[in-house]
Amino acid sequence: MKINSTKNSLLTGTLLLTTAGILSRIIGFFYRIFLSRTIGAEGLGIYQLIFPVMGICFSLTSAGIQTSISRFVSMEIGNRNPKGARTYLYVGLLISLALSLLTGGLLWKNAEFIAGTLLKEARCAPLLKIIAYSYVPCCIHACINGYYYGMKKAAIPALSQLAEQLVRVGSVYLIFVIAQSSGREISIAMAAWGITLGELAGMLISVSFIGLEPASGNLYFTAKNLLAMALPLTANRIVINLLSSYENIMIPDSLRSFGYTSTEALGVFGILTGMALPIIMFPGVITNSVSVMLLPMISEAQAKKKQELIKRAVRRTIESCLILGFLCTLGFLFTGRFIGNYVFKNSLAGTFILTLSWICPFTYLSSTLTSILHGLGYPGTTFALNLIGCVIRIIFVLFVIPEVGIKGYLYALLFAQIAVSLLSIYILYRNTWKKQNSAAL
């Protein structure tokens, strides 16, 4: 009966998150088309440069704490202690809020330095100042989402995700209409305001449902447990995001070494990261939803020593992700040029989609297997795997792109995802099937 309940929670949560994710991705799909035709490929490239900084700040303020809240809440619920679960939410929220205020203030104050010296693009400074306001609302709804994921209740996170995307896109379109009607220049800053307003909307939805319920438990013990998991997770994510940021910053630089002008390099970078990659990642909304729901399920199964449930989850995850991935590869091979030529009106985007289609099975697989490893309590292992992927991509960026152009980065993505996926499968095999067989002997 409990196994059926677990299956139903996983399926219901996955369905809700997938539905919200698909709707968000569809909205985002048209949003990307709108941006590409409004601010152009170069503007899209400049806009994409701020995302590594956003990733680092999110890792520092919310990501590790959200995952930790989800894991410990699921364990407390498994032990039938809902007040203890609330304590993890409140303590995690206070820690995340303090970090968000500090991070947002530092980002706003040092925006010019980060844009000019680190991103090598001074036009990013106003965008960084705008997104500095987004981290407080972002951390609040991230922590609340983590709580609901741990409860295996995905409706509120799904609703906040959809609200965030609707407000993001709607506010940008409204700013565009106002600017156009008043004869003002269309600025890239409108897209940054969309991010901040979207985070605010997500926060308001989350807060309106969470309510104030009693909590009980030792605050010191709760904080210690949260930080024990969140600190290595946060450190891992920061390191990975720093490497990813370096990777993204160096792509335009390496393209210039290949022979592109600065405008051409930013344009190609914008087409790749703002048009082709979002299309390739679109079906990943399904695996992302599964990943979010798998983490608390695996944590609870491990706490109750249900090894067979873990093994079944790993096996079905691998089978499902490979089937989905290969179907998507075939789909993109047939439709890639059409999407590039007629949707984005950019033939290079179509070429990128065709080449990137081969990474689908491995990209979708690695994201879900990473979630299972987190649920089993292996943050160090996932860090090592992500580090391997980053190092492979950076080597290609530094040494292959200057020789063969942007094709070098497409190959880098493929090789990195294959390596991470195969290593994840091996590690899970060693820590589930092999370990259990050894114990049986």
What DSSP assignment string belongs to 43-66?
Answer: HHHHHHHHHHHHHHHHIIIIIHHH
Instruction: Tell me the pLDDT tens digit for each residue of 286-309.
Output: 777 666 666 667 766 766 677 777
Question: Cβ distance 80 to 214 under 8 Å?
Answer: no
Question: Cβ distance 24 to 162 under 8 Å?
Answer: yes
- Would you place residue 44 in the very low, low, confident or very high pLDDT band (cuts 50, 70, 90)? confident
Question: Cβ distance 171 to 30 under 8 Å?
Answer: no
Report pLDDT for 440.
Answer: 44
For residue 4, pLDDT beyond 60: no
Residue 177: CB atoms within 10 Å: 10
Residue 218: CB atoms within 10 Å: 11
213 three-class SS: coil
Report pLDDT for 300.
Answer: 66
Span of 132-136, 226-230, 236-240, 300-304 with lowest mean pLDDT: 300-304
How many residues would you count in the chain?
441
345 three-class SS: coil
Q: What's the rounded Cα separation, in Å, for the pair 435 and 154?
A: 33
**Residue 436 buriedness (CB in 10 A; 0-12 / 13-18 / 19+):** middle
432 three-class SS: helix
Residue 397: CB atoms within 10 Å: 22
- Mean pLDDT (the chain, rounded): 83
Who's near 259: CB < 8 A, 6+ residues apart? none
Local structure of residue 340 (DSSP, 8 states) = I
Q: Six-digit token pair at 414? A: 């493929």
Report pLDDT for 58.
Answer: 86
Report which listed range, 63-77, 162-176, 229-243, is most confident.
162-176
What DSSP assignment string belongs to 260-297?
Answer: --HHHHHHHHHHIIIIIHHHHTTTHHHHHHHHHHHHHH
For residue 160, pLDDT beyond 70: yes
- Would you place residue 194 in the very low, low, confident or very high pLDDT band (cuts 50, 70, 90)? very high
Give the range of the structural domain holding residue 50, as residue numbers without chain letter. 2-440
Q: What's the rounded Cα separation, in Å, for the pair 339 and 428?
A: 37
pTM greater than 0.85: no
Q: What's the rounded Cα separation, in Å, for the pair 222 and 280?
A: 40
Q: What's the rounded Cα separation, in Å, for the pair 314 and 432?
A: 9
Instruction: Tell me the pLDDT tens digit for each residue of 118-154.
Output: 888 888 999 999 999 999 999 998 999 989 888 878 7
Question: How many structural domains comprise the chain?
Answer: 1
Mean pLDDT of 206-222: 79
Q: What's the rounded Cα separation, in Å, for the pair 170 and 164?
A: 10
Report which listed range, 18-27, 154-163, 301-310, is most confident.
154-163
Mean pLDDT of 63-75: 85
